[in-house]
């Protein structure tokens, strides 16, 4: 079995759990958005396009922080977390980048007990 096979199987399992919870299959961007909202800690009825991008950025920074790529610098007066990049991301092809991020998403949900 290849590592990517295991990753794909774990990803499908997570997707199935999210479908069960939300009623539809989320893509990676939707999952990042959900993680960003959870990390932001404030739920609004509507986020602007820029805020949605910021939420996904928060998610990526939070997900990659345990691997030493980012650290939380602080939270601004509006409650938005700000991260500092500690080291550059490794050079990867798009498919490898997606799998790298998926692996970190899976670790995040494992820590939450999902």
Whether residue 55 contacts residue 37, with contact meaning beta carbons closer than 8 Å, is answered with yes
Domain ranges of the chain: 3-111
Per-residue pLDDT band for 1 (boundaries 50, 70, 90) equals very low
Measured on CA atoms in the order 41, 47, 52, 54, is the torsion positive or negative? negative
Task: Judge whether residue 9 has pLDDT over 90.
Answer: yes
92: left (phi over 0), alpha (psi -120 to 50) or beta: beta
Per-residue model confidence as pLDDT tens digits over 11-63: 999 999 999 988 999 999 999 999 999 999 887 778 889 999 999 999 999 99
Task: Give 98's contacts (C-beta < 8 A, 6+ positions apart).
Answer: 28
């Amino acid at each position: 079995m290849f590592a990517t096979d295991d990753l794909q199987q774990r990803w499908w399992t997570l997707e199935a759990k999210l479908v069960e919870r939300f009623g539809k299959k989320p893509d990676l961007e939707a999952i990042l958005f959900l993680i960003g909202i959870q990390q932001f800690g404030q739920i609004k009825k509507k986020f602007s396009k820029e805020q949605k991008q910021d939420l996904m950025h928060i998610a990526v920074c939070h997900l990659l922080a345990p691997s030493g790529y980012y650290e939380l610098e602080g939270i601004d007066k509006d409650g938005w977390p700000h991260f500092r990049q500690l080291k550059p991301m490794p050079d990867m092809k798009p498919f490898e980048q997606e799998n790298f991020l998926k692996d970190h998403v899976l670790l995040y949900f494992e820590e939450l007990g999902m």
